Amino acid sequence: MIVTTSAFKMNPKIYKTLYKLFQEYYFRKNVSGDEFIEEKLLAPDSHLTDEEIEKFVLLVTHKKFLEAIKNNFVSFHNLRNYNDVRMIMIIFILLFASDNVAPNELFEVFNEVKCAFKHKILQYFFNENNIIQTALTGCKFFEDEYILNQIINPLLNKTDVLKKIERLLYQEKIKQRTPKPPTVPNQMALLQRKKVAPTVPLNTPAEPKFFQARDVPKTLYQPDTTDKKLVSEFEKNKLKAQKLLAQAKALDKNYCKPKQALVVEEAPRRIFRAKKAPSRKTNIETRGNVAAVLREASVCIKEQEKEIKNIEVLLKGGATLDKYRELEENLRQEEQQKSIEEIERKHLEGLLTFEDAILAKRKLIECNKERFKEFMEERDAFLKQLEDWKERQQERIKMTVKKCQEIERNARDSDRKLKEEKKNLVVQFKEEKRQMLQNAYEKQKEELAKKIKLIEEIKALHEMKTLHSVTRSLTGQSVPSSVCCAKCRLAICSKSSPK
């Protein structure tokens, strides 16, 4: 899976989001990048943008490559205490997210990163050997052309920008330091010396040991023995090396030469041209002459003499030293030829294996491209479904809000009506109560008036009784009591009848 990085830019907000996502993904095991992205997209509180998702996919794709570069940096500086996630994020920003970005924006991003080694990481990529090591590390994971065009060349092109950012970071670091207060020199008290009293002379002469000079150490005027030993060992090693070189030159000249890679030259293609078949002649007679006969006779005589010599040598009981050396040389040449053929065979097998590996790697890359294409299609379909689902949810929420507003309005209306009814009932109850109190008051008033009238009549009757008793005493005539009682009863009954 290879993603181009030319259009990617970085800012502090995107860095914080990517750092939180990658930190969570880095410490989770048995979870792939696709599953992690799907899980984050399905979350109800997900607010990831397409740019953040693409950058996170790029970061996960190059995770092993970035970890390898981080390990190279740690071994280069021999570090112990460090944060893996922050160092990987800084390397990712340098290699993949710093193209076409203004130095000020990139400085803000680096200033946001809380890592004590960001200054050293920037200086690490200024060294040419470290860039070569980075290229070799990238070739283990991706194609050579991709590493060269997408990582190394952009890194070399933006070296000036990175140096400028490194200077800005250094200046910011200096500003953060608390300056020391200036040194205040003390006044020189040359004219205010204290007068020192002279020493009192001793009664006895001073002992001579106080005036003896100390011994000068030998190291000041004698050379160190360690340097002598090192020089002698160096000379001995040099002599041994010269002897070994002379022995190697005496054995074979090829030992002193560097090994050269075998270059298999392709044979030029032969151009085959059709030739006319020779005409066949039958019954051709060979004609011999004296010279031909003499030549054949001389060849036969030489072969006979050679065979006779060989037989004589065999009869004498062994071969000569020259023959033995010739046989040994032939055997050595045959063994050397076999070894060369074996080396060529292994080299050709290695080339075939290398070609098979390249083909397998290309096939894997194509497969990864297809998988990434399928993933992007699935992602688009999923995002479309997610948008549809969000629209449906929004419509449902709108309908629910409308219903709630309608219910709230009806509740307010019913509450208002209920209050009005209660208010009317209270007013009616007050009116009825007032009417009842008014009627009771009128009735009580009438009863009180009747009672007053009755009391007045009783008073009148009482006055009449007293008057009757007085008249009786004066005239001596009596009025029948029955008539008076009857009148009183009649008056009482007439008063109490309306009630």
* Block mean pLDDT (10 aa), the chain, length 499: 50 76 77 72 70 79 85 83 82 78 75 77 82 84 83 82 81 76 72 67 54 65 75 87 80 55 55 62 63 82 87 68 76 88 85 83 88 90 91 91 90 90 91 91 90 88 77 54 51 50
pLDDT score for 388: 92
C-beta separation of 46 from 40 below 8 A: yes
Question: What residue spans define the domains of the chain?
Answer: 12-175
- Measure the CA angle with vertex 75, ends 69 and 79; round to 5°: 110
Q: What is the pLDDT of residue 20?
A: 79
Helix (H, G, I), strand (E, B) or coil at 72: helix
Separation CA 231–CA 477 (nearest Å): 187
**pTM for the complete prediction?**
0.36
Q: Is 132 left (phi over 0), alpha (psi -120 to 50) or beta?
A: alpha
Q: What does the pLDDT read at residue 476?
A: 53
Q: Which residue has the tokens 């490194």?
A: 166
CA angle (113, 32, 358) in 5-degree steps = 100
Q: What's the gap between Cα 110 and its chain centre?
A: 15
Tell me the three state secondary structure of residue 179: coil
Residues near 91 by Cβ (< 8 Å), separated by ≥ 6? Answer: 66, 69, 70, 73, 121
Which three-class secondary structure state does DSSP give residue 204? coil
Residues 101, 109: Cα–Cα separation, whole Å: 11
In this structure, what token pair is assigned to residue 113?
């990163």
The predicted structure's pLDDT at residue 264 = 47
Structure tokens at 331: 């055997």
Q: Residue 36: which residues within 8 A CB-CB, separation 6 or more? A: 24, 25, 28, 60
Amino acid at 137: T
Residues 6+ apart with CB under 8 A from 389: none
What pLDDT does residue 391 have?
Answer: 92
